[in-house]
Amino acid sequence: MDKPPILQVGPYPQWDQEPLDAAFQVHRYFEAADKAELLAEVGPAIKAIATRGELGANRGMIEACPNLELISVYGVGFDAVDLQACRERGIRVTNTPDVLTNDVADLGVAMMLCQSRGMLGAETWVRDGSWTEKGLYPLKRRVWGRRAGVLGLGRIGFEVAKRLKGFDLQIAYSDVEAKPYASDMSFVADPVELARQSNFLFVTLAASAATRHIVGRQVIEALGPEGMLINISRASNIDEEALLEALETGKLGSAALDVFEGEPKLNPRFLALDNVLLQPHHASGTIETRKAMGQLVRDNLTAHFAGQPLPTPVL
Ligand code: 8YV
Protein backbone atom coordinates (compact mmCIF):
# COMPACT_ATOMS: atom_id res chain seq x y z
CA MET A 1 0.00 0.00 0.00
CA ASP A 2 1.23 3.53 -0.80
CA LYS A 3 2.40 5.55 2.17
CA PRO A 4 -0.15 8.26 3.09
CA PRO A 5 1.03 11.72 2.05
CA ILE A 6 1.46 14.19 4.91
CA LEU A 7 2.72 17.75 5.29
CA GLN A 8 5.31 18.35 8.02
CA VAL A 9 5.23 21.97 9.15
CA GLY A 10 8.39 22.17 11.29
CA PRO A 11 11.41 20.00 12.07
CA TYR A 12 11.39 17.15 14.60
CA PRO A 13 14.36 15.40 16.23
CA GLN A 14 16.02 12.69 14.13
CA TRP A 15 14.50 9.96 16.32
CA ASP A 16 11.06 11.15 15.17
CA GLN A 17 11.96 11.98 11.61
CA GLU A 18 13.13 8.49 10.75
CA PRO A 19 9.95 6.60 11.77
CA LEU A 20 7.81 9.37 10.27
CA ASP A 21 9.62 9.07 6.92
CA ALA A 22 9.33 5.28 7.10
CA ALA A 23 5.56 5.30 7.59
CA PHE A 24 4.46 8.32 5.56
CA GLN A 25 5.27 10.16 2.36
CA VAL A 26 6.49 13.32 4.10
CA HIS A 27 6.49 16.73 2.40
CA ARG A 28 8.62 19.12 4.42
CA TYR A 29 6.99 22.56 4.43
CA PHE A 30 9.80 24.09 6.50
CA GLU A 31 12.45 23.11 3.95
CA ALA A 32 10.61 24.53 0.93
CA ALA A 33 12.20 27.72 -0.43
CA ASP A 34 8.85 28.67 -1.99
CA LYS A 35 6.18 27.57 0.47
CA ALA A 36 3.22 28.70 -1.65
CA GLU A 37 4.60 26.71 -4.57
CA LEU A 38 4.96 23.57 -2.42
CA LEU A 39 1.38 23.93 -1.16
CA ALA A 40 0.08 24.42 -4.72
CA GLU A 41 1.97 21.36 -5.86
CA VAL A 42 1.30 18.84 -3.07
CA GLY A 43 -1.68 20.41 -1.20
CA PRO A 44 -4.40 18.42 -3.05
CA ALA A 45 -2.69 15.11 -2.15
CA ILE A 46 -2.17 15.90 1.56
CA LYS A 47 -4.35 13.83 3.94
CA ALA A 48 -2.73 14.90 7.23
CA ILE A 49 -0.58 17.67 8.65
CA ALA A 50 2.03 17.03 11.35
CA THR A 51 2.85 20.28 13.13
CA ARG A 52 4.20 21.66 16.39
CA GLY A 53 2.32 23.46 19.15
CA GLU A 54 3.73 26.89 18.44
CA LEU A 55 3.55 26.52 14.63
CA GLY A 56 0.02 25.13 14.25
CA ALA A 57 -1.72 25.39 10.88
CA ASN A 58 -3.45 28.53 9.63
CA ARG A 59 -6.49 28.83 7.38
CA GLY A 60 -4.39 29.41 4.27
CA MET A 61 -2.49 26.17 4.83
CA ILE A 62 -5.68 24.23 5.59
CA GLU A 63 -7.43 25.61 2.50
CA ALA A 64 -4.45 24.67 0.34
CA CYS A 65 -5.10 21.04 1.36
CA PRO A 66 -8.67 20.31 0.16
CA ASN A 67 -8.46 16.60 1.07
CA LEU A 68 -7.06 17.17 4.56
CA GLU A 69 -8.49 14.85 7.24
CA LEU A 70 -6.27 15.28 10.30
CA ILE A 71 -3.89 17.73 11.98
CA SER A 72 -1.58 16.05 14.50
CA VAL A 73 0.03 18.57 16.87
CA TYR A 74 3.34 17.93 18.67
CA GLY A 75 2.43 19.85 21.84
CA VAL A 76 -0.47 20.17 24.23
CA GLY A 77 -1.39 23.67 23.01
CA PHE A 78 -3.32 23.74 19.75
CA ASP A 79 -4.20 27.45 19.74
CA ALA A 80 -2.09 28.02 16.61
CA VAL A 81 -4.36 25.69 14.62
CA ASP A 82 -7.32 27.45 12.99
CA LEU A 83 -10.00 25.36 14.68
CA GLN A 84 -12.84 27.15 12.94
CA ALA A 85 -11.40 26.22 9.54
CA CYS A 86 -11.13 22.61 10.80
CA ARG A 87 -14.71 22.53 12.10
CA GLU A 88 -16.06 23.83 8.80
CA ARG A 89 -14.54 20.82 6.99
CA GLY A 90 -14.75 18.15 9.70
CA ILE A 91 -10.96 17.96 9.97
CA ARG A 92 -9.84 16.16 13.13
CA VAL A 93 -7.16 17.62 15.42
CA THR A 94 -4.99 15.79 17.97
CA ASN A 95 -2.42 17.01 20.52
CA THR A 96 0.07 15.46 22.98
CA PRO A 97 -1.38 15.97 26.48
CA ASP A 98 -0.23 14.31 29.74
CA VAL A 99 3.20 13.16 28.53
CA LEU A 100 4.62 16.68 28.95
CA THR A 101 2.74 17.84 32.05
CA ASN A 102 5.42 17.07 34.65
CA ASP A 103 8.30 18.58 32.68
CA VAL A 104 6.39 21.81 32.04
CA ALA A 105 5.52 22.03 35.74
CA ASP A 106 9.14 21.33 36.70
CA LEU A 107 10.44 24.14 34.52
CA GLY A 108 7.87 26.61 35.86
CA VAL A 109 8.88 25.91 39.46
CA ALA A 110 12.59 25.94 38.54
CA MET A 111 12.13 29.36 36.90
CA MET A 112 10.52 30.70 40.09
CA LEU A 113 13.37 29.40 42.26
CA CYS A 114 16.06 30.55 39.83
CA GLN A 115 14.66 34.05 39.52
CA SER A 116 13.75 34.54 43.17
CA ARG A 117 17.21 33.49 44.37
CA GLY A 118 19.03 35.36 41.57
CA MET A 119 20.83 32.21 40.43
CA LEU A 120 21.87 33.50 37.01
CA GLY A 121 23.39 36.66 38.52
CA ALA A 122 25.03 34.51 41.18
CA GLU A 123 26.63 32.34 38.53
CA THR A 124 28.07 35.45 36.86
CA TRP A 125 29.23 36.66 40.31
CA VAL A 126 31.38 33.54 40.60
CA ARG A 127 32.64 33.45 37.00
CA ASP A 128 33.57 37.14 36.63
CA GLY A 129 35.52 37.31 39.86
CA SER A 130 33.01 39.50 41.72
CA TRP A 131 32.97 37.01 44.61
CA THR A 132 36.69 37.56 45.28
CA GLU A 133 36.68 41.28 44.39
CA LYS A 134 33.39 42.47 45.89
CA GLY A 135 32.59 39.77 48.44
CA LEU A 136 29.18 38.39 49.25
CA TYR A 137 26.45 38.19 46.58
CA PRO A 138 23.50 40.57 47.21
CA LEU A 139 20.70 38.99 49.24
CA LYS A 140 17.61 37.75 47.41
CA ARG A 141 14.02 36.90 48.29
CA ARG A 142 12.86 33.69 49.99
CA VAL A 143 10.50 31.30 48.20
CA TRP A 144 9.24 28.90 50.90
CA GLY A 145 6.33 29.97 53.06
CA ARG A 146 5.18 32.70 50.64
CA ARG A 147 1.98 32.84 48.56
CA ALA A 148 1.54 31.44 45.07
CA GLY A 149 -1.36 31.90 42.70
CA VAL A 150 -2.02 29.46 39.87
CA LEU A 151 -4.04 30.91 37.01
CA GLY A 152 -5.59 27.89 35.31
CA LEU A 153 -5.74 24.71 37.38
CA GLY A 154 -5.70 22.19 34.53
CA ARG A 155 -3.25 19.33 34.29
CA ILE A 156 -0.15 21.53 34.23
CA GLY A 157 -1.43 24.02 36.83
CA PHE A 158 -2.28 21.15 39.16
CA GLU A 159 1.24 19.71 38.88
CA VAL A 160 2.74 23.15 39.52
CA ALA A 161 0.59 23.46 42.66
CA LYS A 162 1.58 19.97 43.82
CA ARG A 163 5.26 20.89 43.54
CA LEU A 164 4.73 24.25 45.28
CA LYS A 165 3.21 22.46 48.26
CA GLY A 166 6.59 20.78 48.68
CA PHE A 167 8.12 24.23 49.10
CA ASP A 168 5.58 25.08 51.82
CA LEU A 169 3.94 27.78 49.73
CA GLN A 170 0.35 28.77 50.39
CA ILE A 171 -1.58 28.12 47.20
CA ALA A 172 -4.63 29.73 45.66
CA TYR A 173 -5.95 29.35 42.12
CA SER A 174 -8.32 30.86 39.59
CA ASP A 175 -10.25 28.96 36.99
CA VAL A 176 -13.70 29.10 35.41
CA GLU A 177 -14.99 27.27 38.48
CA ALA A 178 -13.70 25.67 41.69
CA LYS A 179 -12.16 22.26 41.06
CA PRO A 180 -13.32 19.25 43.11
CA TYR A 181 -9.75 17.87 43.13
CA ALA A 182 -8.32 21.02 44.74
CA SER A 183 -10.05 21.11 48.11
CA ASP A 184 -6.76 21.93 49.87
CA MET A 185 -6.22 25.12 47.82
CA SER A 186 -8.25 28.29 47.97
CA PHE A 187 -10.33 29.20 44.94
CA VAL A 188 -10.25 32.87 43.97
CA ALA A 189 -12.53 33.51 41.01
CA ASP A 190 -11.11 36.90 40.01
CA PRO A 191 -7.57 36.82 38.51
CA VAL A 192 -6.94 40.39 39.75
CA GLU A 193 -7.75 39.34 43.32
CA LEU A 194 -5.62 36.20 42.89
CA ALA A 195 -2.70 38.40 41.80
CA ARG A 196 -3.26 40.78 44.72
CA GLN A 197 -2.96 37.85 47.15
CA SER A 198 0.10 36.31 45.47
CA ASN A 199 3.86 36.76 45.62
CA PHE A 200 4.26 34.41 42.65
CA LEU A 201 1.66 34.15 39.90
CA PHE A 202 1.88 31.16 37.54
CA VAL A 203 0.08 31.37 34.19
CA THR A 204 -0.89 27.82 33.21
CA LEU A 205 -4.00 28.41 31.11
CA ALA A 206 -4.67 26.77 27.76
CA ALA A 207 -4.66 29.72 25.37
CA SER A 208 -7.76 30.62 23.38
CA ALA A 209 -9.52 33.75 22.14
CA ALA A 210 -11.26 33.88 25.53
CA THR A 211 -8.01 33.98 27.53
CA ARG A 212 -6.20 36.50 25.30
CA HIS A 213 -4.56 39.16 27.54
CA ILE A 214 -6.30 37.75 30.61
CA VAL A 215 -3.16 38.89 32.41
CA GLY A 216 -3.50 42.58 31.63
CA ARG A 217 -2.48 45.80 33.33
CA GLN A 218 -4.81 45.26 36.29
CA VAL A 219 -3.55 41.75 37.09
CA ILE A 220 0.08 42.83 36.65
CA GLU A 221 -0.27 45.86 38.88
CA ALA A 222 -2.17 43.83 41.49
CA LEU A 223 0.81 41.45 41.63
CA GLY A 224 2.86 44.55 42.30
CA PRO A 225 6.47 45.69 42.83
CA GLU A 226 7.28 42.67 45.03
CA GLY A 227 5.50 40.14 42.81
CA MET A 228 6.78 37.70 40.18
CA LEU A 229 4.90 36.56 37.07
CA ILE A 230 5.81 33.12 35.66
CA ASN A 231 4.47 32.19 32.21
CA ILE A 232 4.75 28.62 30.92
CA SER A 233 1.59 28.75 28.78
CA ARG A 234 1.35 31.02 25.74
CA ALA A 235 2.40 34.65 25.25
CA SER A 236 -1.12 35.58 24.14
CA ASN A 237 -2.40 35.03 27.69
CA ILE A 238 -0.43 38.14 28.75
CA ASP A 239 -0.65 41.71 27.53
CA GLU A 240 3.06 41.92 26.70
CA GLU A 241 3.06 45.70 26.30
CA ALA A 242 1.59 46.11 29.79
CA LEU A 243 4.09 43.57 31.15
CA LEU A 244 7.09 45.35 29.61
CA GLU A 245 5.91 48.70 30.88
CA ALA A 246 5.40 47.33 34.40
CA LEU A 247 8.82 45.64 34.44
CA GLU A 248 10.51 48.81 33.16
CA THR A 249 8.86 51.08 35.71
CA GLY A 250 9.02 48.70 38.68
CA LYS A 251 5.23 48.36 38.95
CA LEU A 252 5.94 44.62 38.68
CA GLY A 253 8.90 43.18 40.57
CA SER A 254 10.02 40.50 38.14
CA ALA A 255 9.01 37.90 35.60
CA ALA A 256 10.14 34.49 34.39
CA LEU A 257 8.98 33.75 30.85
CA ASP A 258 9.23 30.72 28.57
CA VAL A 259 7.01 32.15 25.80
CA PHE A 260 6.93 35.42 23.85
CA GLU A 261 4.88 37.21 21.21
CA GLY A 262 6.53 36.60 17.83
CA GLU A 263 9.01 34.09 19.30
CA PRO A 264 11.78 33.35 18.66
CA LYS A 265 12.18 37.05 17.74
CA LEU A 266 11.18 38.54 21.07
CA ASN A 267 10.67 42.22 21.75
CA PRO A 268 14.21 43.65 22.29
CA ARG A 269 12.94 45.61 25.30
CA PHE A 270 13.04 42.31 27.22
CA LEU A 271 16.79 42.04 26.61
CA ALA A 272 17.45 45.36 28.34
CA LEU A 273 15.76 44.25 31.58
CA ASP A 274 17.58 42.61 34.47
CA ASN A 275 14.38 41.70 36.34
CA VAL A 276 13.21 39.10 33.87
CA LEU A 277 14.37 35.51 33.33
CA LEU A 278 14.13 34.61 29.64
CA GLN A 279 13.77 31.00 28.48
CA PRO A 280 13.51 29.73 24.87
CA HIS A 281 10.09 27.97 24.97
CA HIS A 282 11.52 24.70 26.22
CA ALA A 283 9.27 23.76 29.14
CA SER A 284 8.51 20.39 27.51
CA GLY A 285 12.08 20.13 26.24
CA THR A 286 13.48 16.96 27.78
CA ILE A 287 14.61 13.99 25.72
CA GLU A 288 12.16 11.69 27.50
CA THR A 289 9.13 13.92 27.01
CA ARG A 290 9.94 14.90 23.44
CA LYS A 291 10.27 11.20 22.54
CA ALA A 292 6.85 10.53 24.07
CA MET A 293 5.37 13.54 22.23
CA GLY A 294 6.78 12.34 18.90
CA GLN A 295 5.40 8.87 19.49
CA LEU A 296 1.96 10.31 20.23
CA VAL A 297 2.04 12.40 17.04
CA ARG A 298 2.74 9.21 15.06
CA ASP A 299 0.22 7.14 17.04
CA ASN A 300 -2.52 9.61 16.12
CA LEU A 301 -1.53 9.61 12.44
CA THR A 302 -1.30 5.82 12.35
CA ALA A 303 -4.64 5.33 14.11
CA HIS A 304 -6.31 7.73 11.69
CA PHE A 305 -5.04 5.99 8.57
CA ALA A 306 -5.94 2.59 10.05
CA GLY A 307 -9.48 3.81 10.69
CA GLN A 308 -9.04 3.36 14.44
CA PRO A 309 -10.06 5.76 17.24
CA LEU A 310 -7.62 8.64 17.72
CA PRO A 311 -5.63 8.29 20.99
CA THR A 312 -5.72 12.01 21.91
CA PRO A 313 -8.26 13.98 19.89
CA VAL A 314 -9.21 17.59 20.68
CA LEU A 315 -11.55 17.97 17.71
C1 8YV B 1 5.96 22.92 21.83
C2 8YV B 1 4.24 23.55 23.41
O3 8YV B 1 5.08 22.22 21.08
O4 8YV B 1 3.08 21.68 24.29
C5 8YV B 1 3.01 22.81 23.83
O6 8YV B 1 1.93 23.39 23.70
O7 8YV B 1 4.22 24.70 23.21
C8 8YV B 1 5.53 22.84 23.26
O9 8YV B 1 5.58 21.57 23.77
C10 8YV B 1 7.36 22.50 21.70
O11 8YV B 1 8.12 23.63 21.72
C12 8YV B 1 7.65 21.68 20.49
O13 8YV B 1 7.61 22.45 19.34
Q: Average pLDDT, stretch 65-78?
A: 98
pLDDT at 174: 98
Q: Which protein residue's CA is at the shortest distance from atom 7 of ligand 1?
A: 53
Which residue is closest in CA terms to ligand 1's atom 13? 52
SS3 per residue for 273-295: CCCEEECCCCCCCCHHHHHHHHH
Give the CATH architecture of domain 5-99+288-305: 3-Layer(aba) Sandwich (3.40)
Q: Which atom of ligand 1 is nearest to the CA of 96?
A: 4
pLDDT tens track for 98-126: 999 999 999 999 999 999 999 999 999 99
Q: In what order do the strands lie in the sheet with 48-52?
A: 25-28, 5-8, 48-52, 70-74, 92-94
Average pLDDT across the chain, whole number = 98
Residues sharing a CB contact under 8 Å with residue 43, sequence separation 6 or more, in sequence order: 7, 64, 65, 66
Domain ranges of the chain: 5-99+288-305, 101-278
196-211 average pLDDT score = 98
Residue 262: what pLDDT? Answer: 97
Nearest alpha-carbon partner for 71 in 42, 91, 45: 91
When pLDDT is averaged across residues 77-104 and rounded to a whole number, the result is 98
Domain 101-278 CATH assignment equals 3.40.50.2300: no
Mean pLDDT of 78-94: 98
From the CA of 126, how far away is ligand 1's center (Å)?
34
pLDDT of residue 219: 99
For residue 293, the CA-to-ligand 1 centroid distance in Å is: 9
For residue 185, the model assigns a pLDDT of: 97
Which residue puts its alpha carbon closest to atom 4 of ligand 1? 75
Residues 139 and 26: their CA atoms lie apart, in Å, by 54
Same fold: 5-99+288-305 with 101-278 = yes
What's the pLDDT score for residue 118? Answer: 98
Give the Å distance between the CA of 303 and the centre of ligand 1: 22
Measured from the CB, is residue 54 less than 6 Å from ligand 1?
yes
pLDDT tens digits, one per residue of 258-304? 999 999 999 999 999 999 999 999 999 999 999 999 999 999 999 99
The pLDDT, as a whole number, for residue 279 is 98
What's the confidence (pLDDT) of residue 168? 98
pLDDT band at 32 (very low <50, low <70, confident <90, very high): very high
Q: Which of 71, 76, 295 to mutate to test the pocket of ligand 1 (most atoms within 8 A of CB)?
A: 76
Q: Is 74 in the pocket of ligand 1 (CB under 6 A)?
A: yes
pTM here is 0.97
pLDDT value, residue 253:
98
Q: Is the pLDDT of residue 1 over 80?
A: no
Ligand 1 atom closest to Cα of residue 234:
7
Is residue 146's pLDDT more than 80? Answer: yes
Q: Is 263 a catalytic residue?
A: yes
Nearest to 146 by CA among 172, 180, 107, 177: 172
Is the pLDDT confidence value at 74 over 90?
A: yes
Atom of ligand 1 nearest to the CA of 284: 9
pLDDT of residue 283: 98
Give the pLDDT of residue 254: 98
Concatenating the DSSP letter of every residue in the chain gives -PPPEEEE-S---HHHHHHHHHHSEEEEGGG-SSHHHHHHHHGGG--EEEEETTT-B-HHHHHT-TT--EEEEESS--TTB-HHHHHHHT-EEE---STTHHHHHHHHHHHHHHHHTTHHHHHHHHHTTHHHHH-SPPP----TTSEEEEE--SHHHHHHHHHHHHTT-EEEEE-SS--GGGTTSEE-S-HHHHHHH-SEEEE-PPP-GGGTT-B-HHHHHHH-TT-EEEE-S-GGGB-HHHHHHHHHHTSS-EEEES--TTTTS--GGGGG-SSEEE--S-TT--HHHHHHHHHHHHHHHHHHHTTPPPSSB--
Distance 129 CA to ligand 1 centre (A): 38
Which of 52, 196, 281, 304 is catalytic? The answer is 281
